[in-house]
């Protein structure tokens, strides 16, 4: 078989296709809009948004109404007035004036935690995209490897048949036939492994995107890759969502210290209340010529000051506890910075290494292909054996497989680098052209100032899509009208 046919599968990862197919943009868009992990993270952030109005409610007026109906089964024997029943109602209003800073600082802490949650949501989005890119490239690699190994099975099948024919006429030995058969059996096993790996890659793609892989096209160039590792680290320290979240939580913990310390400070509030009572005509004063009033009303207003004197050391313990937690949060910021710096530098090194490996493997493929041609030519004049041909073919296939993997690794490493820099989110990838992007700030702005006790959202509904109706993937690879031998459906 011609050298071009052998190289076709290896080059499949970088060649465009004329067939209708999925793109990386479609895969990322599917994950962005239907992935259940990402949808759950958005819902969890909406729950975090509610902590702000919850904390604000502690500083707002509180109105309580009560009503009661009493039946007096037995009256006191010393009482001259003995009602049979009573209806009462109370309305009380309390307005906190000063709480030692507890409400103010609790609200500020909640606002910082909302900011941290929004950064966490960015991190979740970036992580899902990184997994999606890896799954996309794994499918492309799997298809290329299936095509490559299937082509090798075809080549070795032809070689084995030719070797057997030559053995029949006495031109080769039984050893030559056995060597060819052994290599064919190994190639057939490699093909089954490649098919299994392709099916697993397609299942992972379906899990992440909710879409069935059709004919995945080569991905576009990655945008915004840094010029050097120092630039990458500098960008990451400013934009990485893990660092931002850690900083916001550390800031929130500072307010928690003041909240805990407020427990030893006075509380001031104003209050007012109205009372109404009615004996429903059952109040009777025996022997009295004057009718007795059956109802009464009253209104009260005042100021209440509560000054804690001694609480058994609880406020101090709570404040020390908050200080310790704040210290832990500050250390977490440094830990997040260390992790991100390590991620960026490792991703940079992997990206650079993968690019270098691509160049090396391409040279290895070219050299192995040339070597195979030479070995085959030598075999025709008796200078090379069948084993030499089999070894040369195996070297070429191995170099092609390594080239396919290197291309996959380079792209995934580059995207991982962008993710570590905080530059691999929907806004960075232009997914807004496919529909409005989810903005967590919109929900926060909607709920942060709500006062209504009866305000509620619609009943929760599932936003992500199920994959049970997507047919189980197989190991077939797409067929193009101009495909070379060995790259069709298997």
Q: What is the dihedral of CA 277, 280, 281, 286, to 10 degrees?
A: -60
d(CA 390, CA 156): 8
H/E stretch holding 298 reads: strand 295-306
- pLDDT given for residue 346 in this prediction: 95
For residue 78, give Cα distances in angstroms to 74, 127, 289, 301. Answer: 12, 79, 20, 34
Pairwise pLDDT comparison (366 vs 443), residue with the higher score? 443
**What is the arithmetic mean of pLDDT over 408-436?**
92
User: Is 396 in a helix, a strand, or coil?
Assistant: helix
Report how far residue 1's alpha carbon sits from residue 8's, in angstroms, rounded to the nearest whole number. Answer: 12
Cα gap 336→330, rounded to integer Å: 10
Cβ proximity of 156 and 442 under 8 Å: no
Q: What is the pLDDT of residue 294?
A: 79
Residue of 438, 425, 449, 337 lying closest to 111 (CA atoms): 449
Confidence of residue 6 (pLDDT cuts 50, 70, 90): very low
Look at residues 295, 270, 275 and name the one whose alpha carbon lies nearest to residue 66.
275
Mean pLDDT of 353-363: 90
Confidence of residue 174 (pLDDT cuts 50, 70, 90): confident
pLDDT of residue 363: 86
Give residues with Cβ within 8 angstroms of 374, minimum separation 6: none
**pLDDT category of residue 84 using cuts at 50, 70 and 90:** confident
Longest dimension (CA), the chain: 143
Quick one: which of 111, 72, 69, 73 has its CA closest to 448? 111
150-159, 316-325, 407-416: segment of lowest average pLDDT? 150-159
- Structure confidence at residue 16 (pLDDT): 36
Give all domains of the chain, ordered by start, each with its CATH number.
3-59+101-263+320-447 (1.20.1600.10)
327: tokens are: 């210290």
Check if the beta carbon of residue 84 is closer than 8 Å to that of residue 91: no
306 vs 268: CA distance, rounded Å: 6
Q: Check residue 386 and give its pLDDT.
A: 67
Give the span between the Cα atoms of 39 and 466, in whole angstroms.
Answer: 13
């Amino acid at each position: 078989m011609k050298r071009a046919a052998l190289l076709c599968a290896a080059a499949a990862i970088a060649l465009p296709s004329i067939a209708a197919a999925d793109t990386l943009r479609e895969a990322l868009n599917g994950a962005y809009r239907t992935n259940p992990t990402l949808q759950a993270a958005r819902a969890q952030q909406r729950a975090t948004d509610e902590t702000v109005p919850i904390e604000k409610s502690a500083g707002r007026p509180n109105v309580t109404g009560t009503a009661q109906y009493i039946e007096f089964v037995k009256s006191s024997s010393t009482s001259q007035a003995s009602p049979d029943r009573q209806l009462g109602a109370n309305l009380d209003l309390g307005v906190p004036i000063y709480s030692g800073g507890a409400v103010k600082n609790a609200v500020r802490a909640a606002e910082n935690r909302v900011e941290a949650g929004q950064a966490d949501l960015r991190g979740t989005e970036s992580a899902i995209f990184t997994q999606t890119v890896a799954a996309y490239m794994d499918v492309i690699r799997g298809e290329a490897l299936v095509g490559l190994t299937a082509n090798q099975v075809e080549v070795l099948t032809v070689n084995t048949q030719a070797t057997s024919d030559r053995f029949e006429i006495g031109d080769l030995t039984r050893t030559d036939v056995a060597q060819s058969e052994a290599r064919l059996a190994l190639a057939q096993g490699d093909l089954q492994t490649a098919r299994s790996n392709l099916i697993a890659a397609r299942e992972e793609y379906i899990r992440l995107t909710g879409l069935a892989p059709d004919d995945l096209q080569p991905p576009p160039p990655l945008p915004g890759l840094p010029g050097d590792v120092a630039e990458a680290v500098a960008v990451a320290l400013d934009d990485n969502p893990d660092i931002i979240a850690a900083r916001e939580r550390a800031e929130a913990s500072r307010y928690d210290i003041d909240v805990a310390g407020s427990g030893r400070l006075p509380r001031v509030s104003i209050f007012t209340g109205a009372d109404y009572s009615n004996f429903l005509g059952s109040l009777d004063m025996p022997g009295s010529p004057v009718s007795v009033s059956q109802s009464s009303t009253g209104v009260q207003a005042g100021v209440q000051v509560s000054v804690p004197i001694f609480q058994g050391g609880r406020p101090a313990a709570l404040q020390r506890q908050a200080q310790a937690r704040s210290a832990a949060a500050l250390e977490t910021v440094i830990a997040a910075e260390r992790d991100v710096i390590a991620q960026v530098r490792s991703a940079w090194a992997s990206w650079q290494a993968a690019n270098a490996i691509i160049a090396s493997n391409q040279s290895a493929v070219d050299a192995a292909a040339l070597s195979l041609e030479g070995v085959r030519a030598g075999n025709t004049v008796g200078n090379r054996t069948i084993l030499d041909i089999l070894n040369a073919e195996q070297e070429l296939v191995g170099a092609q497989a390594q080239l396919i993997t290197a291309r996959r690794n380079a792209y995934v490493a580059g995207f991982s680098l962008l993710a570590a820099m905080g530059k691999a989110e929907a806004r960075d990838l232009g997914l807004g052209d496919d529909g409005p992007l989810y903005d967590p700030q919109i929900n926060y702005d909607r709920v942060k100032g709500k006062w209504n006790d009866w305000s509620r959202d619609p009943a929760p509904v599932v936003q992500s899509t199920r994959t049970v109706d997507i047919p189980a993937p197989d190991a077939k690879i797409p067929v193009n009208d101009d495909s070379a031998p060995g790259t069709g459906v298997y």
